[in-house]
Chains A and B, each alone.
Chain A
Amino acid sequence: MNPGTVLAAAAHHPGFLSPTGVEITFVLVGLATLGAALLTVTTKQLVHAALWLVVALGGLAVEYLLLTAEFIAWVQVLIYVGSVVVLLLFGLMLTKAPIGRSPDADSGNRWVAVGVAGAAAVTLVWVVVDAFRSTWINLHGAVQGTSHATGTSLFRHWVLPFEALSVLLLAALVGAIVLSRRTDGGKETE
């Protein structure tokens, strides 16, 4: 964007006091997402943390839909809500996580973590608001994230990283199997 269009955009900048319907929805869903994320990292019950994570990730999928990225939203629902959280719940059960409240869910350096996260939040929000105060996303016009557009660009311009990622997924699969296999066969080599 050249400076002329930036100035023109700032001149009739819509302002924060007259939000559109999409913005109101975005902020409300964002508040729910943020609250669910906070509960994920603060709740004392480990299984509830995984369930609040479902709410946070589902809220993010709604945010993707509001940003017109349809394909990413459904991929988010399928992979994160569908498989990652299920994997996390399996992990919690396999490590015999306590079902009720566990008082030692937080470690001793909790207040240091609060300080670091608070300082990072203040700095990041200040910088981001200062930088993008008058930037406007035009959500009208051609939808940016249909599955047609995403698939076309993915298989036209991003084929090589796509194939490399499939090899990485295969390596991760083999690695997870090797790591989690019971090592009974190792007794012959000892």
Chain B
Amino acid sequence: MHLAYPAVLAALLFCVGVYGVLARRNAILVLMSVELMLNAVNLNLVAFDVWLRDTLHAGQALTLFTITIAAAEIGLGLAIVLLVYRNRGSSDIDRLTALADPAGPRGDGTGRPGAGEDPDGPGTTAGDEKAEATA
């Protein structure tokens, strides 16, 4: 088999994953796209291991390690997403802007806690207070 086939498939799958990470709004869909990128890397590892006939089987061992790390990552990531959803009532990653610099004249970067949360309105401040209370 030509090595180009698995290599091209892995490159395309990786780029599909990149698109998903950049374009999706729901955090769980972003995690799915990360899984696609990790699988593209796994396919590369397996293909190059079979091509090189590695006596240490480094490609397949590293593939197993990547699968393990991906399982750990998905568990921790889902726990974090559930925690964020419980605190904020949403898992949309472009609404989680509590740590962002406020767009306005108040964004002077003084580092005082709570300095940037005033222009956001009462809803966001209540959400932040709730998050701080549960933290």
Closest to A102 in B: B26
User: Shortest distance in angstroms between B70's beta carbon and chain A's nearest beta carbon?
Assistant: 7
The answer for the CA separation of A94 and B27 in the assembled complex, in Å, is: 13
Contact of A69 among B28, B46, B82 (CB under 8 A): B46
> Given A57-B39, A75-B67, A106 and B23 touching (CB < 8 A)?
yes
- B2–A135 contact, CB under 8 A? yes
> Given A46-B26, A80-B39, A125 and B11 touching (CB < 8 A)?
yes
On chain A, the residues within 8 Å of B72 by CB distance are 168-169, 172
Is B61 in contact with chain A by the CB < 8 A criterion?
A: yes
8 Å CB contacts to A: which residues of B60-98?
Answer: 60-61, 63-65, 67-76, 78-83, 85, 91-94
> Given A46-B29, A71-B60, A88-B78, A112 and B69 touching (CB < 8 A)?
no
12 contacting pairs across A/B (C-beta < 8 A) = A20-B1, A34-B16, A50-B32, A69-B50, A79-B71, A88-B32, A107-B24, A107-B94, A116-B22, A121-B11, A132-B3, A145-B50
Closest to A61 in B: B39
> Given A40-B20, A87-B74, A128 and B32 touching (CB < 8 A)?
no
On chain B, the residues within 8 Å of A40 by CB distance are 16, 20, 32-33, 36
- B2–A153 contact, CB under 8 A? no
Is B106 in contact with chain A by the CB < 8 A criterion?
A: no
- A172–B65 contact, CB under 8 A? no
Query: Which A residues are within 8 Å of any B CB, using their own CB?
Result: 14, 16, 20, 22-23, 26-27, 30, 33-34, 37-38, 40-41, 46, 49-50, 53, 56-57, 60, 63-64, 66-69, 71-72, 75-76, 79-80, 83-84, 87-88, 90-92, 94-97, 104-110, 112-114, 116-118, 120-121, 124-125, 128-129, 132-133, 135-139, 144-145, 149-150, 153-154, 157-158, 161-162, 165, 168-169, 172-173, 175-176, 179-180, 183, 186
The answer for the CA separation of A77 and B60 in the assembled complex, in Å, is: 15
- B75–A41 contact, CB under 8 A? no
The answer for the CA separation of A128 and B3 in the assembled complex, in Å, is: 9
Query: Which B residues are within 8 Å of any A CB, using their own CB?
Result: 1-9, 11-20, 22-26, 28-29, 31-33, 35-36, 39, 42-43, 46-47, 49-51, 53, 56-57, 60-61, 63-65, 67-76, 78-83, 85, 91-94, 134
On chain B, the residues within 8 Å of A91 by CB distance are 28, 31, 78, 81-82
The answer for the CA separation of A165 and B36 in the assembled complex, in Å, is: 21
Contact of B79 among A96, A106, A112, A175 (CB under 8 A): A175
Contact of B6 among A34, A67, A72, A161 (CB under 8 A): A67
- A133–B4 contact, CB under 8 A? yes
User: Shortest distance in angstroms between B9's beta carbon and chain A's nearest beta carbon?
Assistant: 4
With contacts A34-B9, A136-B1 known, what are 15 further pairs, Cβ within 8 A? A40-B33, A41-B24, A56-B13, A69-B50, A79-B67, A80-B39, A95-B91, A105-B24, A105-B29, A125-B8, A129-B4, A145-B50, A145-B57, A153-B57, A180-B83
